[in-house]
Amino acid sequence: MPSPTPEEMNQATQRLLLQENTQQKETIEVLKRELCSSHDRVANLESTAAHLRARLAQVHQSRFFVTDLPRDEDDGLYQAARTMAGQDLQDDELYEAARAMNARDLRRAEITLLRQAVEASKAELEKWKNEAARAGAETVSRSWQASVDEAVRREREKDAWAIRHMQRELEVLRKSQG
């Protein structure tokens, strides 16, 4: 088998470099897509957390609930306050006290629920950040390992070519001596 000419070796090297460059570009594109997807999920979770924080701040305003509570005789709160008083509720102060007490209970419950939602969002956000970081690290590691494997393969091919070339030269020398 004739040894390759320098031009053939150069063409083969160029093809290998082109293949490696193409593989690296494809790996970079995959990494970019994964990173964009992770950023979108993180941004969505951060938006949800910001919304919940704003809602929690709104809940802390005392007039938020008082102005939102209806005052009519069909109101369940009005009926409950009347029953608690055991009489027809004519006293506006008693009615307002019952409404304020219920508003505080509602506010506490909503604050508790919002805090739980914020904590859950924080945990979810942290989970997505960790997952995105892990996926990025794994992809970079795979890309690096593929590059190392490709470099080792090329070096082995060069060594194999050099060994074959030397073996041919040894055969030629043996034939010329023998």
Q: What is the structure's pLDDT at 89?
A: 46
Q: What is the structure's pLDDT at 78?
A: 52
Q: What is the structure's pLDDT at 65?
A: 46
Contact 77, 98 (CB under 8 A): yes
**pLDDT tens, position by position, 144-164:** 887 888 888 888 888 888 888
Chain centre distance of CA 8: 47
Using alpha carbons, list the distances in angstroms from residue 7 to 4, 13, 67, 75, 149: 8, 10, 87, 93, 25
Q: What is the structure's pLDDT at 67?
A: 41
Using alpha carbons, list the distances in angstroms from residue 148 to 15, 25, 57, 142, 151: 18, 16, 54, 10, 5
Q: What is the structure's pLDDT at 151?
A: 83
Q: Using CB atoms within 10 A of its CB, is residue 81 exposed (0-12), middle (13-18) or buried (19+)?
A: buried
Q: What is the structure's pLDDT at 70?
A: 46
Chain centre distance of CA 128: 4
Q: What is the structure's pLDDT at 69?
A: 45
The residue among 17, 135, 137, 115 whose CA lies nearest residue 59 is 115
Q: Tens of pLDDT along the chain (178 residues)?
A: 577 788 888 888 888 888 888 888 888 888 888 888 878 878 887 888 777 777 777 766 644 444 444 445 555 555 555 555 444 445 565 566 666 667 777 777 778 888 888 888 888 888 888 888 888 888 878 878 878 888 888 888 888 888 888 888 889 888 888 6
